[in-house]
Amino acid sequence: MGRGSSKAGTGKYGGGMQNSDTTTNVTSSHPLTEEISKGGGSFANEIMNTRDAFEREYGDAVKNMNLYVATFSDGSTLGAYGGNTLYMNEKYVKNANLTAAMQAGAKSGFHPGIGNKTGAEAVASHEIGHRLGELAAKKAGISEMDIVARAATKLNLKTENMAGHISKYARSNYSETIAEASADVFCNGSKASKVSKAIMAEVKTILK
């Protein structure tokens, strides 16, 4: 994560995603707001509204987060986070199949359900979760694993077993555990996994 504007870390999220972190080359990008003039207003607004919802919930941690549409060297990447920037794959702008892909991934247990959210909102909430986990760990002077461990202690669970209560992809590493918890809580609210809610409560406590 945080590899600068020419790189986007944290892996892929959704259909066709490998079960590991990747470093994805961003070959071109432009601000999300430009999509409005190109007819992608609905998509752009979904992402911006998701960012705004996180700002209301977690404070200034995401207030100045950059929102971009990008072309990735790996076209199957749906979104990525790096260098304080959320990148969304331009292939999926105005593409209803993104929601279907996310719903299919949820059905297989690869990632959490998306509730009544769109695929764009689900991807964005995952990538914003990377931002939250990164900043919370930095602010507290601990690792992202330590954040998950704190939540595990409160639930009387083993740290290494936490991700399994969220999704298959959450097991990739602790950064993905927090990102998946973020998406789960945003998309499913009170119906989210108790593990996801406990993790995001820890993140919120640190950041607020």
Is 44 a domain residue? Answer: yes
Q: Residue 100: enclosing H or E segment and its boundaries?
A: helix 97-107
Boundaries of domain holding 127: 7-96+109-207
* Residue 103 belongs to some domain of the structure: no
Nearest-angstrom CA–CA distance, 25 and 133: 22
Q: Which of 24, 38, 134 shows the shortest CA–CA distance to 89?
A: 24
Number of domains in the chain: 1
Over residues 85-136, the pLDDT tens digits come to: 999 888 877 666 788 889 999 999 999 999 999 999 999 999 999 999 999 9
Say what the pTM is.
0.87
45 within domain boundaries: yes
Residue 51 falls inside a structural domain: yes
Strands 85-89 and 66-72: parallel
Q: Considering the domain boundaries, does residue 2 fall inside one?
A: no
Residue 1 lies in a domain: no
Which of the pair, 75 or 159, is modelled with greater confidence?
A: 159
* Position 55 in a domain: yes
